[in-house]
Chain A
Amino acid sequence: MTRRNPRTTAKSQALQLPTHQPKPQLTPPTSLKMNLSSIRPAFRPVTSRIAQLSNNALQRSFAPTTRRTIRPTPATTTTTRSPFSTTARLLKRNRSAKNATDPRITAIRYHLTHPLTPRPLHFSRTRALRHWTIHRAWLLFLRKRRRAEELELERQYNSMRAACEHLRLLDNNGNRVSEAEAGGQGPDAGRLGVRGREVGRLYRAAMLKRGVWGSVPVEYARVQTDFPGREGWNHAWTRS
């Protein structure tokens, strides 16, 4: 509506507007008519609501450049603000205030019912084939990554298992004992063998799971970052 001529700079407007009516070729004349209170006849009331609205909008859009207060003449205020009877307007105002919906709720409702869903993709044959190829490659990449993670976890599991088995068959002197002498057969890890407690002491201690189920330290639970802080935890922090 109010399109400004790009050639007019802010400086020229600030110079021109407060003094006189700017040249008609700078801005559209229809919108200008509203803005110029200086040439408006003093006794003419603002009749239409649209004119008032566009006047406000224009002022807002021009706000940074034309910062001046339009003081309405006393004649104008009397005509607009005090009609002959106040009761009807007051009643109406009160009713509207009671029933009025918060504009924020109106905005929320508007945006909930107007989802900006784009139209579905529509490709020609070659372009769809290209798209499909890239998609297959992406799926392949994801699968490879998942497989690598799984294999890494499996490798750790296997080495942990081998270590536990080694500890189970370990003597106090660090010698390996036979299966018959060792304990820990079956589901009970604490079961003792022929040579009693001196075989697989570390294994039994590991399988006790002491302190596992209590709580994980808070310092552990930090999400990995590219650039972690120099000191990881502020131990000096107190509640102020």
Chain B
Amino acid sequence: MALRELPLRTASAFCSHVRPVAQLVRPSFRRNSSSEALYGIEPWSPFSVPPPSEELSKTFDPVARSKLRRRGKRELPPSRYQYRPPKYYRGRLHPHQPPPVSDPSSRLFQPGPFSLPRLEQTYQSTIAPDVLTLTYQHYPPGYRAPKLDQRLREWTGESPYFRNRPLRPPRGRGDHLRLLTPPRTFRNVPKITKVTIHSMVPEAQENSAHLHVAGMIVQAISNIRATTHKARHNVVGWGLREGKYVSVTANMEREDAHHFLAKLVDVVLPRIKEWKGVPASSGDGAGNMTFGLTPDQVALFPEVEVNYDAYPPKMIPGCHITIQTDATNNKDARLLLQAIGLPFFGKLND
């Protein structure tokens, strides 16, 4: 076998030696359009850096420099040194400015998303394009929307007190104007910005254990440290006394919010008996929707359910869940939440 292969091998070895020579020779015969262009280009360029001066290259001694650095006069702080941002923001003009929030050394830094929630993936790939398509309103090219003038009325009359007076408040009840809805584009597709869990336990005024259990459950459900709140007023009907701790909230954003919503829609809500859905009368006209869960519904959350025995069953609280969206009206917010999987029932609040 070896003998039979020998001539082949010698031939291939010979060829491999020969080949580079052939390649060296070849370019002289080939002519590309770009190869001639190189001759026409000026060798000088504004970006070219002149070589270092004679004096600099003679005195350059990296070893000595590093030794010098090591001995006494240090250019760099010791390796253990760690930059600490200022504790307080002292204004734009202060020389010591805090680093951006995305910097790990910042005090406000939150380590990035550790997972890509399925709900977020579904939103990006399916829900956002569908909502965009459903709510798209076409305007022919060249159409310019008429400019909106002042929505608040002025004070008209002869009274001298009307001069320089602030504009009149909007008509009807309510002290604020409703949000304007801009035409739908690919930049303002409504999305979920925040989810808030709020649990009020008035029994906590007598026994703080209620508040602690509520805080623990809210924390377990939401993955966020719960915040406690005091009652701001005396409300006799609700048995509230001013200044007493009565409620617990948790605000979830981005990753946590998506995980929570997916859990709610896929695990908790389908297991509630006789659940009709979110009341369609909810919604504040600015894209936020709220609904409530009773204590036995809260107990259906998987985090509570796995160690149900760890909580006194009578102290498990109910809660309100507010889903905040980018939408500027109730219709858009409801469409988004329906697409996510929250059914609505009853009279619509538009």
Contacts and interface: CB of A to CB of B under 8 A. Distances in A.
A6 B140 CA distance: 83
A222 B122 CA distance: 9
Nearest to B207: A105
A149 interface: yes
Contacts of B315: 105
A132 interface: yes
A108 B213 contact: yes
Contacts of B104: 121, 131-132, 135
Contacts of A138: 112
B79 A126 contact: yes
Main secondary structure of the interface of A (DSSP, over half): helix
A236 interface: no
Interface string A141-179: 010000001100110110011001100100000000000
A132 B215 CA distance: 36
B344 interface: yes
A153 B209 contact: no
Given A124-B79, A185-B140, A213-B331, A157 B212 contact: no
A224 B129 contact: no
Contacts of B141: 165
Nearest to B216: A108
B185 interface: yes
A152 B274 CA distance: 41
A104 interface: yes
A124 B341 CA distance: 48
Contacts of B132: 153, 156-157, 160
Contacts of A149: 124
Interface string A65-91: 000000000000000000000000000
B273 to A, nearest CB: 9
Interface in B60-85: 76, 79-82
Contacts of B234: none
A222 B341 CA distance: 7
Nearest to B135: A212
Interface in B243-292: 262, 265-266
B233 to A, nearest CB: 27
B121 interface: yes
A102 interface: yes
B44 to A, nearest CB: 36
Nearest to B348: A213
Interface string B140-161: 1101010000000000000000
Given A108-B213, A125-B79, A154 B186 contact: yes
- Max chain A Cβ within 10 angstroms of own Cβ: one of B186, B310, B311: B186
A223 B209 contact: no
A207 B137 contact: yes
Contacts of B124: 149
Given A101-B209, A215-B344, A224-B122, A111 B186 contact: no
Given A168-B140, A215-B343, A128 B129 contact: no
15 contacts: A105-B213, A108-B310, A111-B216, A115-B225, A121-B104, A156-B133, A156-B186, A165-B140, A185-B140, A186-B143, A207-B138, A220-B339, A222-B341, A223-B118, A225-B118
